[in-house]
Amino acid sequence: MQKYKVPDMTCGHCVQTIETTIKGLDPAATVACDLGHKEVTVATGIAADRVAAALADVGFESEILAR
């Protein structure tokens, strides 16, 4: 399970953007956003660096906590 810290994820709209972006990379991905902790948990076969790069492209810098 991949885990990311996403400090700029502050509301439901951010969550929507993040989910849509990750599912755009991998439609089979499972994405869980924890707004309180600003953490995103992802189950996917896509490399964490690619997921982080896609999030950066839509304005969300992230720190990979688990790959």
Binding site for Cu ion (CB under 5 A): 10-11, 13-14
Q: Which is nearer to Cu ion, 22 or 45 (CB)?
A: 22
- Cα–Cα nearest to 7, from 41, 40, 44: 40
Q: Report, in Å, the least distance between residue 10 CB and Cu ion.
A: 5
Q: Which is nearer to Cu ion, 10 or 20 (CB)?
A: 10
Tell me the residue length of the chain: 67
List the Cα angle 57/20/28 in 5-degree steps.
115
Q: Which is nearer to Cu ion, 11 or 28 (CB)?
A: 11
